[in-house]
Amino acid sequence: MGILNLGDSGAMLLRPALRTPPGSDQPLLFPRVVFRSSDQTHYFNCPYQLGSGSLPVEAPDFIRVRVRTGDLVVAATDGVFDNLFDHQVQAIVAQQLAKAWSVGAPVTPHLSGLATSIAKQA
């Protein structure tokens, strides 16, 4: 998959993986971060932007990542990534999708609720 990113929007590629929580002997499916884009900024709180009128126009990052069946891409603006740590996004994804992942069910019916949960938490 190709990801083109400019500024402080971003993307995370999450993959379900078995993880044993502390104090438990039961492994659970939890989304592991396979890829996370990096912010492009001139300096703190000043991201690269399209249409800002500055020259030269900054080049976006183009990244290729390998995806597998079951992977989830979370693409979001700084409204999400400035307000939630990656582990918080992972926890929201786990809460919404772990049951479907554990039984091999499609996650598509849960994606709208997942997006709403991420937006509300941000």
The answer to whether 51 and 34 are in contact (CB under 8 A) is: no
What's the pLDDT score for residue 18? 86
Does residue 102 register a pLDDT over 90?
no
Lowest mean pLDDT among 2-6, 18-22, 53-57: 53-57
Q: Which residues of 58-97 are buried (b: 16+ CB within 10 A; e: fewer)?
A: beebeeeeeeeeebbebebeeebbeebeeeebbebbbebb
Does residue 117 register a pLDDT over 70?
yes
Task: Please state the pTM of the whole predicted model.
Answer: 0.84
Confidence of residue 80 (pLDDT cuts 50, 70, 90): very high
